[in-house]
């Protein structure tokens, strides 16, 4: 799964929402909306009828109107697994990432020092930092945040990126004085500085929820700051606060009056008073809203590019092209051979197919990526061959020995027959015992690109005699299957990316929070019986550990190159298309510095609007 580079830690998140926010609030990877027409009204939030808790979506103040495909899943930044999310606007870390250069730059910390041995980092907080409720933000909040991160009873997407060495040890975080916090590492760890973009959370509000437990002995924190929490109770440190949330309709963000950043003349930032997310339900709806002037920023879907390009001048907007995107699009089988309470997560007959390397390779050869590029992506993309983002200096192209799968149905059939599969007189694919090869493919509904990808895969594999039952699901239902029940067969999905590959540690470590193709049970979930990892799977995990330990850039590249060779050989994820990062922005939005790395909003505090 990711948030904007201005508060990113490089960790992958499930890219489940619509692309308009995924690109507009593009993330390097840390730790990642309602009515069709924006109505100017005062709406009561769920906290009751107190007029002071009303939020107004008004044209009388500088505002941006964006869209998202689905409702957020949580307001708790620690528990979030999807991207985009509200936290790129509402929280920050000690550091952030420059959306142009990719360099780590100060955020809540004004400076840092790194010891000569690379095992000691000392950060100095800015003077006078405040939470959005006016309470002081201190070193104690930083230590509390990392205590929560390293708490094994709290499932979090970001923890895996801090595991150091073969033993997976965490840094020790200690207070030096009122403004200085020290990280002590067991050994040098290349991604550590970038990782300190982790969102800092308020100890004065959340400590009781971490220390308290429910009737089952789980931390109360697991149910804290859900989407049923009154928005004004969410206290952050970012440029905006969440002022209103109406499920299925909209979220309204208002500028945080206690935000630390000021411009060179001493004026408080951000300049824009309100940001509104409209929950639109589909990428088609978002497109029509943008064309009609109802949205200010819109990721450009490939099938809409030509039409929007012709309308740039008349519509008074600019389409920004950031080049190859950071994220990935992939198809994957559930390789999990475990059971829960005696019931296999995947039908054992189908699990045997999915866990055959030859079967996965045959399916990859059977997917026509060229047609996918031309028809679905309108030529605005290329076949993807790696889990590592194309703009990353650690990306290894096919010329370096990375296996590719050009469309070759004959090769696919040959692999299947050699693996013991057979065809009946009707041309249907059967396994050796005679079972029809048939599985269910899921993705998130409303995302037109993914729905089109799923439909093409269904048609492509039908030519191999495989029956695919394609089933787009609502956002929350999809997340529940992938992260909670773990009962699914195949999926089309995406992950956010970044220039630092260790952001994908949560995908490739064996117990990683997004090891989605073979997920272990998370904290608080019923245990699994019989979970096992393949040798190649364990090797990739080991390489990610070694690459994070290695300081020399050339040696790190060689380690990551091997991971890319393994992922393309064994296909835990079958990568599809790397699309261009394209976003349309109204010309009234000033100060945009668009890149694939940062999107349109990485410097949101500097943006202004002119009418």
| Mean pLDDT estimate for the chain | 90
Instruction: For residue 12, give every residue at least 6 positions away whose Cβ sits within 8 Å of its Cβ, in sequence order, or none.
Output: 1, 2, 29, 157, 495, 496, 497, 498, 503, 504, 506, 507, 514
What's the chain's length in residues? 611
Beta bridge partners of 125: 109
Angle (CA) 117-118-123 rounded to 5° is 120
Model confidence band, residue 40 (pLDDT cutoffs 50, 70, 90): very low
Tokens of 46: 């769920």
The rounded distance, in Å, linking the Cα atoms of 491 and 510 is 20
Question: Mean pLDDT over residues 365-383, rounded?
Answer: 96
Beta pairing, strands 82-83 & 14-15? parallel
Using a 10 angstrom Cβ sphere, with 0-12 exposed, 13-18 middle and 19 or more buried, the burial of residue 264 is exposed
Question: Mean pLDDT over residues 483-506, rounded?
Answer: 93
CATH H-level, domain 5-91+214-323+581-609: superfamily: Periplasmic binding protein-like II (3.40.190.10)
pLDDT in tens, 98-145: 999 999 999 999 999 999 888 999 999 999 999 999 999 999 999 999
What is the residue whose two structure tokens read 């040890």? 169
The whole-number pLDDT of residue 116 equals: 85
The rounded distance, in Å, linking the Cα atoms of 162 and 505 is 9
* pLDDT of 8 over the 80 cut: no
pLDDT in tens, 159-205: 988 999 889 999 999 999 999 999 999 999 999 999 999 999 999 99
Tokens of 380: 């605005």
DSSP 8-state class, residue 198: P
Query: 30-39, 476-485, 543-552, 567-576: which has the minimum mean pLDDT?
Result: 30-39
The answer to whether 93 touches 28, Cβ cutoff 8 Å, is no
The rounded distance, in Å, linking the Cα atoms of 341 and 607 is 53
pLDDT in tens, 521-556: 988 899 999 999 999 999 999 999 999 999 999 999
- Asked: is 95-207 a CATH 3.40.50.880 domain? The reply is no
The rounded distance, in Å, linking the Cα atoms of 370 and 305 is 19
Alpha-carbon radius of gyration of the chain: 24
Q: Tell me the range of 10-14, 50-54, 216-220, 425-429 where mean pLDDT is highest.
A: 425-429
Question: Mean pLDDT over residues 87-106, rounded?
Answer: 95
Helix H or strand E segment including 66: strand 63-68
Helix (H, G, I), strand (E, B) or coil at 20: helix
The whole-number pLDDT of residue 15 equals: 60
The rounded distance, in Å, linking the Cα atoms of 148 and 159 is 10
pLDDT above 70: percentage of residues in the chain: 90
The rounded distance, in Å, linking the Cα atoms of 67 and 75 is 17
The rounded distance, in Å, linking the Cα atoms of 110 and 90 is 19
* pLDDT of 12 over the 90 cut: no
Q: Distance between alpha carbon 376 and the CA centroid of its chain, in Å?
A: 22
What is the residue whose two structure tokens read 């840390």? 30
The rounded distance, in Å, linking the Cα atoms of 53 and 47 is 7
Q: Would you say the C-alpha torsion 512, 517, 518, 520 has a positive or negative sign?
A: positive
* pLDDT of 370 over the 90 cut: yes
What is the residue whose two structure tokens read 């050009």? 406
Query: 20-29, 243-252, 407-416, 452-461: which has the minimum mean pLDDT?
Result: 20-29
Using a 10 angstrom Cβ sphere, with 0-12 exposed, 13-18 middle and 19 or more buried, the burial of residue 157 is buried
The answer to whether 141 touches 203, Cβ cutoff 8 Å, is yes
Q: Would you say the C-alpha torsion 333, 336, 337, 343 has a positive or negative sign?
A: negative
Beta bridge partners of 609: 589
pLDDT in tens, 150-163: 999 999 988 988 99
* Domain pair 5-91+214-323+581-609 / 95-207, same fold: no
The rounded distance, in Å, linking the Cα atoms of 523 and 526 is 9
Q: Would you say the C-alpha torsion 522, 547, 494, 195 has a positive or negative sign?
A: positive
Domain boundaries along the sequence of the chain: 5-91+214-323+581-609, 95-207
The whole-number pLDDT of residue 507 equals: 95
Residue 36: count of CB within 10 angstroms of its CB: 14
Per-residue CA distances from 582 to 7, 164, 319, 394 (Å): 21, 36, 7, 23
CA torsion 578-580-581-585 (nearest 10°) is -150
The rounded distance, in Å, linking the Cα atoms of 112 and 141 is 17
Angle between helices 139-149 and 203-211 (to 10 degrees): 30
The answer to whether 498 touches 389, Cβ cutoff 8 Å, is yes
Model confidence band, residue 611 (pLDDT cutoffs 50, 70, 90): confident
* pLDDT of 18 over the 70 cut: no
Per-residue CA distances from 183 to 124, 200, 501 (Å): 12, 15, 22
Using DSSP, how many helices (H) and how many strands (E) does the chain show?
Answer: 17, 29
The predicted model scores a pTM of 0.80
What is the residue whose two structure tokens read 């590019």? 305
Q: What are the backbone dihedrals phi and psi of residue 89, each rounded to the nearest 5 degrees, phi first?
A: -100, -25
User: Half-sphere exposure of residue 435, counting CA atoms within 13 Å on the CB side?
Assistant: 12
DSSP 8-state class, residue 89: H
């Amino acid at each position: 799964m990711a948030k904007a580079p201005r508060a990113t830690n490089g960790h992958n998140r499930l890219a489940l929402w619509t692309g308009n926010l995924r690109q507009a609030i593009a993330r390097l990877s840390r730790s990642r909306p309602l009515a069709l027409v924006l109505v100017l009204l005062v709406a009561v939030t769920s906290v009751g009828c107190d007029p002071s808790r009303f939020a107004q979506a008004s044209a009388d103040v500088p505002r941006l109107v964006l869209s998202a495909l689905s409702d957020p899943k949580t307001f708790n930044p620690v528990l979030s697994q999807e991207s985009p999310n509200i936290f790129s606007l509402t929280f920050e870390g000690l550091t952030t990432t420059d959306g142009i250069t990719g360099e780590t730059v100060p955020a809540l910390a004004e400076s840092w020092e790194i010891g000569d041995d690379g095992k000691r980092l000392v950060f100095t907080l800015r003077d006078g930092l405040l939470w959005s409720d006016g309470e002081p933000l201190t070193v104690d909040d930083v230590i509390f945040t990392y205590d929560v991160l390293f708490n094994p009873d709290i499932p979090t997407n970001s923890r895996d990126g801090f595991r150091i060495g073969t033993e997976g040890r965490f840094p020790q975080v200690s207070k030096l004085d009122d403004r200085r916090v020290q990280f002590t590492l067991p050994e040098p760890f290349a991604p550590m500085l970038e990782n300190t973009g982790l969102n800092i959370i308020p100890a004065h509000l959340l400590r009781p929820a971490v220390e308290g437990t429910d009737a089952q002995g789980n931390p109360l924190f697991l149910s804290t700051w859900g989407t049923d929490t009154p928005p004004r109770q969410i206290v952050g440190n970012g440029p905006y606060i969440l002022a209103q949330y109406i499920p299925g309709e909209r979220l309204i963000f208002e500028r945080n009056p206690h935000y630390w950043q000021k411009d060179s003349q001493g004026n408080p930032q951000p300049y824009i008073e309100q940001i509104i997310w409209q929950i639109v339900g589909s990428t088609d709806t978002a497109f029509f809203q943008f064309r009609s002037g109802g949205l200010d920023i819109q990721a450009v879907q490939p099938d809409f590019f030509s039409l929007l390009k012709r309308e740039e001048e008349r519509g008074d907007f600019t389409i920004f092209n950031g080049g190859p995107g950071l994220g990935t699009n992939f198809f994957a089988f559930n390789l999990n051979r475990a059971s829960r309470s005696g019931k296999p997560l995947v039908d054992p007959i189908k699990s045997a197919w999915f866990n055959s390397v030859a079967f996965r390779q045959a399916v990859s050869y059977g997917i026509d990526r060229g047609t996918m590029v031309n028809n679905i992506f309108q030529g605005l993309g290329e076949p993807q061959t790696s889990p590592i983002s194309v703009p990353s200096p650690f990306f290894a192209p096919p010329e370096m020995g990375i296996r590719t799968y050009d469309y070759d149905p004959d090769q696919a059939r040959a692999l299947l027959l050699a693996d013991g599969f057979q065809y009946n007189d009707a041309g249907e694919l059967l396994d050796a015992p005679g079972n029809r090869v048939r599985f269910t493919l899921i993705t998130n509904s409303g995302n037109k690109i993914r729905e089109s990808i799923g439909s093409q895969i269904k048609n492509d594999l039908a030519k191999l005699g495989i029956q695919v039952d394609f089933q787009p699901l609502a956002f929350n239902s999809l997340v529940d299957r992938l992260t909670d029940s773990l009962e699914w067969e195949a999926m089309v999905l995406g992950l956010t990316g970044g220039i630092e590959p260790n952001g994908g540690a949560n995908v490739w470590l064996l117990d990683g929070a997004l090891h989605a193709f073979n997920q272990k049970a998370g904290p608080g979930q019923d245990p699994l019986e019989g979970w096992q990892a393949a040798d190649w799977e364990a090797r990739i995990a080991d390489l990610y550990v070694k690459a994070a330990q290695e300081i020399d850039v050339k040696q790190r590249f060689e380690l990551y190159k091997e991971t890319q060779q393994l992922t393309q050989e064994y296909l835990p994820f079958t990568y599809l298309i790397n699309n261009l990062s394209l976003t349309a922005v109204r010309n009234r939005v000033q100060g945009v510095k668009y890149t694939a790395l940062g999107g349109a909003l990485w410097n949101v505090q500097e943006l202004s609007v002119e009418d």
